[in-house]
Every structure is written in structure tokens, then in C-alpha cells.
Amino acid sequence: MKLSIERGALLKAVAQAQSVVERRNTIPILANVLIEAEGEHVHFRATDLDIEVVDRAVAQVERAGATTVSATTLHEIVRKLPDGALVTLTADSAAGRLAVDAGRSSFSLATLPKEDFPVMASSEYESNFAAPATVLRRLFDKSKFAISTEETRYYLNGVYMHVAEGEDGRVLRCVATDGHRLARIDAPLPEGAETMPGVIVPRKTVGELRKLLDDDDAKIAVSVSETKVRFATPEITLTSKVIDGTFPDYTRVIPQGNTRRLEVDAAEFARAVDRVATVSSERSRAVKLQLDEDRLILSVNAPDSGAAEEELAVAYGDERLEIGFNAKYLLEIASQVDRENAVFMFNSAADPTLMREGNDTSAVYVVMPMRV
């Protein structure tokens, strides 16, 4: 195999591949990227046995062929090469080496036979549809902060993507929760997605998918089956196993009868929470909210480190309320608001609180209070 490729195109392809590769591997071949050159393109394939990413780049292929080489080493080399360099990759399968040449630099890397590289079994997808990158980006960006990190409740270690009944008909919905907070984000249902089975997309896949969604004009081809999900652009295909488990009935924890309404400037609120939380002890990070007519007092009282208080002008017309929250959870939820105002709906100091942006019900967040 011999090919020449521009450094920028090579770096982009190898960067995506090497981020899938696990740092600690018991199987040596999984640390490698499979390079396949044919026609006018070269494919870079990497996997951790749960996720597979295939990156396609344009190259001048002199001799078609394939080999595998350490993903991180190749990425580091290409990253350190000068901008605009033309990189030549030459594989010598007899010697088990890949030569990387660019300008006056030359490297020789150890390879492993391509036959050993595991290729993810192709599966039949029950549902295929296209969705704009901006829509998927919003769905996953706004929900991923609530993904649980507890390994014991493995079915919460991802985002539950499914078709649901919204206020104005059926929607494509993403939900994530860790038991303390919950995010539920809706988007218009794309054509062809009506029969999609609900799947739990793992946390790592959500992180990798984010890299496909930076181009606002891109259309992402989405394919879903009971066991796998695939996201593809013309250059990159990301295939992932889904979490094998049942996502809990999240509708039961979304409060319907909360009547006390607080409206506050989201950015101002987030900054105030951040300031008062500075003195709170790391362990509890509790912030107390005292609500009175049109004013909100945020306070923290940490016996070992001090106290803090800040008052905000808000829109609130109900009876007095004192309620405590984990500062980190409040900050994360407030930072999801794109518009100016966040609307909080309270019931009592012990009940879950609902948050949304203005009157928009396509993004709803729930956070559990804590005793302060």
C-alpha cells in the first residue's frame, strides 16, 4: 500500500479514529487504526468493540492495500507535522512496518496484520431517517449533562432516544437522568423515524457523535435497530451498540402540578449561584433559595468555611418558599438556557422542581431538592 494525503485531511481523520480507541487495552489490535486505501479514497477504521468509527478521506493512492498501526502514535506524529505538509504512507507487509514521510521527516511504525482487526458485524436497521446536525446537536447537548455515572444502574449511563407523544403530536425525544436531575428534550419527528425503536445511546457514543455535528448545514443519516445505532455523514460513519436495558418510566418523575412560578434571568442566576457556592463545602455544595414577592435570596452557610448571600430581582408572586439544591445541578441546568429567562416551577421544599426556557415546553428539566 502506498498513498499521499494532505496533513490537514489526515489529521482530521486520524483524530476521530484515535479518540474511540481505549487507552488501556488488553487486546493489542484494538489500539490500532485500520488504514484501507482504494481508488481515490482512504478509510481509517477504529473500534473498542462497542463503538466503531470509519473516516473517509480523499488521497492519491498509488498502490491499494490495507494495514493497521497504532492510532495514538500516528495521531501524535501527524499532529506535530507542519501545516500543509504532504504526507506519504507506505506499508511494507513483509517487514511489518509503515513508513510515514513528510518533507524531511520520516518515521517507521510497527504494524499488525489487517486480518486480525475486528470489524463490527453489520446488522439490519429497522428505521432509517435523516436529521439536520443542528437538531441532533440540541437533543444530545442539552440532555447529556444528566447522564448517570453510576455503573450499577447501567441503563442510566446514556441518553434514551425514542419517539414520544408531545403536546402537538409525535416528537423525537431524548431523555437522560441520574436520579437527582432529569433532562427531556423534544424535536420535530423526522420523516421515516416513526417506527424507530427506543434505544439508550451510551455516554461515550454521545461524546463521539458530538464531533460529527459541528457543521450546521450537515444532514446526518441515522439508522436504528434494537441493538445498534448508526450516525453517518458523507465522510464519517459512527456505529455503536446500544445499552441493553430498559429505561425507567421517566414521565412519573416530571411534576405536573407545580404552581409556584419563578422567572429569572438565566445568566444572572447562574453567575449568582456560582458566586455564593464558592464558600460551600465540597461535599454538600448546597445552596438555599429563599423566595419572596419579586425577590430571591441565594445563600450558603458552610460552618467550616463561611457564609455567602446574594439577592436577585425576579418575577415571583406566590407565597414564601425556602428550598435547597445542589449548586452544581443548578448551574448545569441554568447553563442549558439559550433564551434570556428561565422559568422554575416549584411545589414545596421537598418536591421535585421543574425548569424550562420561558414558555417553551420542548426542553424540560427536573431537579430534586436537598435538605439545607
pLDDT digits (tens, 9 = 90+) for 254-263: 999 999 999 9
Helices (H), the chain: 7-20, 71-80, 133-141, 203-209, 266-277, 327-334
Can you tell me the distance from the alpha carbon of 204 to that of 51, in angstroms, rounded to the nearest whole number?
9
Of all residues in the chain, the percent with pLDDT exceeding 90 is 88
Tell me, what's the pLDDT at 302? 84
Provide the pLDDT confidence category of residue 270 given band limits of 50, 70 and 90.
Answer: very high
- Under a CB-based contact definition with an 8 Å cutoff, are residues 265 and 290 in contact? no
Residue 200 pLDDT greater than 70, yes or no: yes
Distant-in-sequence, close-in-space partners of 52: CB < 8 Å, separation ≥ 6: 20, 45, 46, 119, 120, 238, 239, 240
Task: Please tell me the number of Cα atoms within 13 Å of 269 on its side-chain side.
Answer: 30
Mean pLDDT on 324-329? 94
Mean pLDDT on 29-53? 96
pLDDT tens digit sequence for 65-96: 999 999 999 999 999 999 999 999 999 989 99
Tell me, what's the pLDDT at 283? 64
Mean pLDDT, the chain, rounded, equals: 94
Can you tell me the distance from the alpha carbon of 330 to that of 313, in angstroms, rounded to the nearest whole number?
18
Q: Note the pTM of the prediction, 2 decimals.
A: 0.93
Tell me, what's the pLDDT at 346? 97
Residue 59 pLDDT greater than 80, yes or no: yes
Grid cell of 30 as nine digits: 484494538
pLDDT tens digit sequence for 142-190: 999 999 999 999 999 999 999 999 988 999 999 999 999 999 999 999 9
pLDDT tens digit sequence for 274-323: 999 999 877 668 999 999 999 999 999 988 888 999 999 999 999 999 99
